[in-house]
Amino acid sequence: MSTIAVAPARTGGMTKDERFVILASSLGTVFEWYDFYLYGSLASIIGAQFFSAYPPATRDIFALLAFAAGFLVRPFGAIVFGRIGDIVGRKYTFLVTILIMGLSTFIVGLLPNAATIGIAAPIILIGLRLLQGLALGGEYGGAATYVAEHSPPGKRGYYTSFIQTTATLGLFLSLIVILFTRTILGEPEFAAWGWRIPFLVSVLLLGVSVWIRLKLNESPVFQKMKDEGKSSKAPLTEAFANWGNAKIVLIALIGGTMGQGVVWYTGQFYALFFLQSILKVDGYTSNLLIAWSLLFGTGFFIFFGWLSDKIGRKPIILTGCLIAALSFFPIFRMITSNANPALEKAIETVKVEVVSDPALCGDLFNPVGTRVFTAPCDTARAYLAQSSVKYSTAYGPAGSGVKVVVNGTEVPYVDAKTSNPAVLAAVQGAGYPKAGNADIVKMSNPFDIFKPQAAAVIGLLFILVLFVTMVYGPIAAMLVELFPTRIRYTSMSLPYHIGNGWFGGLLPATAFAIVASTGDIYAGLWYPIIFALITFVVGLIFMPETKNVDIGRS
């Protein structure tokens, strides 16, 4: 793609109209993150409400699968609403998407549970998640395109970076609403019906968003193109059936959003999962640690967006992918060292083996959580993985049973999926920490950040967030600049939502499945490392620099 120089950047700050455009466009992304954290934080309660016909573990799996469904349909939403946005216009399309998103969230708060309407409850819930995923597929592309097409020359990276900061606002908004509701009602009432309030409160955010967006005018770049009769009549065909543009879509995905997505989800969501599920840090502390790191790091979205206007989008995004890939292993090891030092020491000094006839050991890779393990070799390894015990598999003679060996001592193994007292006692006796160990990082209130242990973990999480801001801050501007106006909405939305919704959104479950199947708590990091390095190489070779592109080209 050739770059066309444009007029020098305008001096001075934002105008009042430009600030209004950014605010109106960003509210939809706030909605996205507000709902994301609501559903994720309340997944166990939602499972109990809507999948009550199943055992507790299965309820949680179904609740998370319903959540994942929203990720999986996002690219289809990108195609549907991207096409509408390129034919009808940016303003009206992302007005429709925010209405669908907001009403879907609100209706979850009104939806009767399975005890009231039976199987219809989970079916409707999944349908609402699919609707929201479709709407989200069109929301981000519309917001990014609209802001970029209103931005003065030389400031598109800076202006669009404000959209990227809304994840923090959505996080804090959801945490405040949940914590306030829980405090007022108490846990029993909250679990029974109070969980609905955060979903219902979202209608206020929806009302403000729609009111503000109704005041917007159409993008001047799009309106000019439409007035000149140059708009696309078949944006899907032009975007994906034309190899010249389809090639850029693939480069944007593989050389841009794929690596950006996995770095982003590792730095925020997998880090939270790692703290809670692997390092056994309590949920309250884990959320506060992540929240503080996001608070400290959010301004860097804007910094790297601004910097990309000076030195280019490509060097910042690709550098972020590279240094993240090279540093994930040492940073996560240091997080373990500071958050749960007893676990780190046990991993280094305690040798645990599962010895079995190889014919009895299967594959533990289970990213969607639907497989049920029955063979003793598999249940033993799954139990050790869930207990954050590093293990290796050794093969005994054919026909032999299963043995768990801890530091050379054989431990009687009872084939139970959730409780193995003898194995638990043996690994804890050898040095693995017990639940609630006093050495595990703990925050009693939001301002315990000055305790050395908490401060160290927040500092490491902040570094991960810096990587996130590097890859995510300039990405909106880059995607907008890669494609011509007439098919921009369609073209940019698809690689963004495949990179983030699929490669990023599926990362936590896939990474933990790798941990469980290998017995190494750090093995899941290979997932983001490999994809980030692929993006670095492909982007370095094939991705054009875009900061001086004329985005008014039709």
Q: Which pLDDT score, from 0 to 100, does residue 178 have? A: 86
CB contact at 8 A, 411 and 405: yes
**For the segment 433-458, what is each residue's pLDDT rounded down to a tens digit?**
987 788 999 998 888 888 999 999 99
**Lowest mean pLDDT, pick from 188-202, 325-339, 403-417:** 403-417
pLDDT > 70: percent of the chain: 94
Band the pLDDT of 90: cuts 50, 70, 90. Answer: confident
CB-count exposure of residue 415 (10 Å: 0-12, 13-18, 19+): middle
CA distance 400 to 415: 15
CB contact at 8 A, 151 and 309: no
Place of tokens 């991960």: 464
Of residues 294 and 70, the one with the higher pLDDT is 294
The three-state secondary structure class of 406 is strand
The percent helix, strand, coil of the chain (3-state, each to 5) is 70, 5, 25
CB contact at 8 A, 346 and 431: yes
CB contact at 8 A, 261 and 503: yes
**What one-character DSSP code corresponds to residue 6?**
-
Phi and psi of 242, rounded to 5°?
A: -95, 115
Question: Could you name the CATH architecture of 349-430?
Answer: 3-Layer(aba) Sandwich (3.40)
| Residue among 173, 156, 207, 210 nearest 32 (CA) | 173
Handedness of CA 465, 40, 521, 472 (dihedral sign): negative
* Mean pLDDT within 136-144: 82
Q: Is the pLDDT of residue 536 over 90?
A: yes
Q: Which pLDDT score, from 0 to 100, does residue 419 have? A: 66
CA distance 384 to 373: 13
Strand partners, 404: 354, 411
* Mean pLDDT within 29-57: 78
Q: Is the pLDDT of residue 554 over 80?
A: no
Q: Which pLDDT score, from 0 to 100, does residue 369 have? A: 62
The CATH H-level (homologous superfamily) assignment of domain 18-340+444-540 is MFS general substrate transporter like domains (1.20.1250.20)
CB contact at 8 A, 337 and 486: no
CB contact at 8 A, 59 and 128: no
* Mean pLDDT within 70-95: 84
**For the segment 455-513, what is each residue's pLDDT rounded down to a tens digit?**
999 999 999 999 999 999 999 999 999 998 888 888 888 999 899 888 988 888 788 88
Q: Which pLDDT score, from 0 to 100, does residue 1 have? A: 38
Q: Is the pLDDT of residue 183 over 90?
A: no
- For strands 352-356 and 392-395, give the pairing: parallel
What torsion, rounded to 10 degrees, do the Cα atoms 464, 467, 469, 472 define?
Answer: -120
Q: Is the pLDDT of residue 3 over 50?
A: no
Q: Which pLDDT score, from 0 to 100, does residue 6 have? A: 39
Q: Chain-wide mean pLDDT for the chain?
A: 86
Q: What is the CA angle 534-279-521, rounded to 5?
A: 40
| Residue among 22, 21, 11, 20 nearest 152 (CA) | 11
Q: Which pLDDT score, from 0 to 100, does residue 9 have? A: 47
* Mean pLDDT within 252-280: 92
Neighbours of 360 (CB within 10 A): 17
Q: Which pLDDT score, from 0 to 100, does residue 417 have? A: 54
Q: Which pLDDT score, from 0 to 100, does residue 460 have? A: 97
CB contact at 8 A, 166 and 478: no
The pTM (predicted TM-score) of the whole model is 0.87
CA distance 238 to 246: 8
Which residues, other chains included, contact 66 with Cβ-Cβ below 8 Å and sequence gap of 6+?
46, 50, 122, 125, 126, 129
**Lowest mean pLDDT, pick from 213-222, 410-419, 434-443:** 410-419
Residue type at position 82: G
The three-state secondary structure class of 411 is strand
Q: Which pLDDT score, from 0 to 100, does residue 413 have? A: 77
Six-digit token string for 11 = 């001096």
Band the pLDDT of 328: cuts 50, 70, 90. Answer: very high
Residue type at position 435: A
CA distance 249 to 260: 15
**For the segment 358-377, what is each residue's pLDDT rounded down to a tens digit?**
887 888 877 766 667 778 88
| Residue among 97, 138, 75 nearest 503 (CA) | 75
CB-count exposure of residue 341 (10 Å: 0-12, 13-18, 19+): middle
Of residues 55 and 1, the one with the higher pLDDT is 55
Domain ranges in the chain are 18-340+444-540, 349-430
